[in-house]
Amino acid sequence: MTDTAVDAAVDAHDDDHHPSDLFYVKIAGILALFTALEVGTYFIEDSVDPWFLYLSLSVLMIIKFAMVAAYFMHLKYDTPWFRYLFIAGLVLAMGVYAIFLFAYDVFGLG
């Protein structure tokens, strides 16, 4: 590749998908809000069903994972192959978590 071809490729890559700094601050604010909701579940722990807590915390965890991976790790703008790897890791982690919860009879089903 010539120097001009390399420069053109770098320029094209830089202009493709780079959100503004304000966008990242907004994403960080949303993540902070979700974290506050997660911490807030500690204060309502005795007044709600454990299923609700585990389900709500799992949903918030998945949303936060997706946002961090998509925006801060730039997976939204990367090849789909990396996205599939992260989704596979998330599915594996949630499966292990579910097995742990049921193996230790966290829900009192056994």
Within a domain: 27: yes
Q: How far is CA 4 from CA 15, 16, 18, 51, in A?
A: 16, 18, 22, 59
Within a domain: 31: yes
Q: Is the pLDDT of residue 60 over 60?
A: yes
Within a domain: 62: yes
Question: What is the rounded CA–CA span in Å between residue 31 and residue 41?
Answer: 16
Q: What is the pTM of this model?
A: 0.71
Model pLDDT for residues 21-42, shown as the tens digit of each residue: 999 999 999 999 999 999 999 8
pLDDT category of residue 110 using cuts at 50, 70 and 90:
low
Within a domain: 36: yes
Indicate the number of domains in the chain: 1
Range of the domain at 88: 3-103
